Structure 1
Amino acid sequence: MSKELEEGLKLELDWNKLEKAVEGTKGIIPVAVQNADTKEVILVAYINQLAFEESLKRKMLVLWSSSRQELWVKGLTSGETFELIEARVNCEQNSLLFVVRPNRGGICHTKNECGEPRNCYYRKINLETQELENLDP
């Protein structure tokens, strides 16, 4: 991924992400991840049955990496892991909401100027110009 995509201020939505994620992958659904303390949505990812079962068993955030096609224990290498507090399902049972508590810090692989991990939704779209505004530089 380019630094410009992750840090830049130009809006470049990936309209084909789900199409790419599903290619070669069966049985995944989206999961929104919310911080239990701030109520902020900090990530939207994908989960399959195995990742779901591991999340419940471990009581921590385990996802399915659509790019690597493998289980993804969020924060395992960085130490930024997340305790699973609550799991919810939508009315059609085709997406989940995980309420989590960070064990140490933010969730994103990008970092702000202080070197701290951000939450993934750190840029706001200006509704007039459609430019991005960094809320956590």
Structure 2
Amino acid sequence: MSKELEEGLELALDWNKLEKAVEGTKGIIPVAVQHADTKEVILVAYINQIAFEESLKRKMLVLWSSSRQELWIKGLTSGETFELLEAYVNCEQNSLLFVVRPNRGGICHTKNAKGEPRNCYYRKIDLDNPTHLENIDA
């Protein structure tokens, strides 16, 4: 991924993400991840049955990496792990909501100006000029 895509202030939505993620991958569903204390949605990712079962067993956030096509124990390399507190399923049983508490820091692999991990939703779309973004966690 490019630094401009992840840090830039130009809107460049990936309308084909799910299509690319599903290619070669079967049995994944989206999972929204919510911070237990702030109620913020801090990440939307994908999960398969193995990652789901591991999340429940470990009581921590385990996902499916659609880009690497592998099990993703969130924070395993960075130390930014998350305790799984609650899990919900939607009415059609085709997406999940996990309520988590960070063991330390934020969730995103990008960092703010202080070098701290942040939540993944750190850029706000300007509704009057939707091709431009505002960094709300510089």
Query: Would you call these one fold, judging by a TM-score over 0.5?
Result: yes
Does 1:25 pair with 2:28?
no
In the TM superposition, residue 23 of structure 1 has moved relative to its aligned partner by 0.2
AA of the residue aligned to 2:24: G
Please provide the CA RMSD for this pair: 0.3
Gaps in structure 2 of 5+ consecutive residues: none
AA of the residue aligned to 1:103: N
Q: For residues 14 and 59 of structure 1, what CA distance do their matches in structure 2 show? A: 31
Count of residue pairs the alignment pairs up: 137
Deviations 1:99-130 (A, max 9, x none): 00000010000000100001000000000011
In the TM superposition, residue 42 of structure 1 has moved relative to its aligned partner by 0.1
Aligned to 1:4: 4
In the TM superposition, residue 93 of structure 1 has moved relative to its aligned partner by 0.2
AA of the residue aligned to 2:87: A
- TM normalised by structure 1 equals 0.99
Aligned to 2:98: 98
Gaps in structure 1 of 5+ consecutive residues: none
Aligned to 2:107: 107
Where has structure 1 moved over 2 Å in runs of 4 or more?
none
- TM normalised by structure 2 equals 0.99
Q: For residues 123 and 98 of structure 2, what CA distance do their matches in structure 1 show? A: 22
Q: For residues 68 and 126 of structure 2, what CA distance do their matches in structure 1 show? A: 32
Does 1:65 pair with 2:79?
no
AA of the residue aligned to 2:123: R
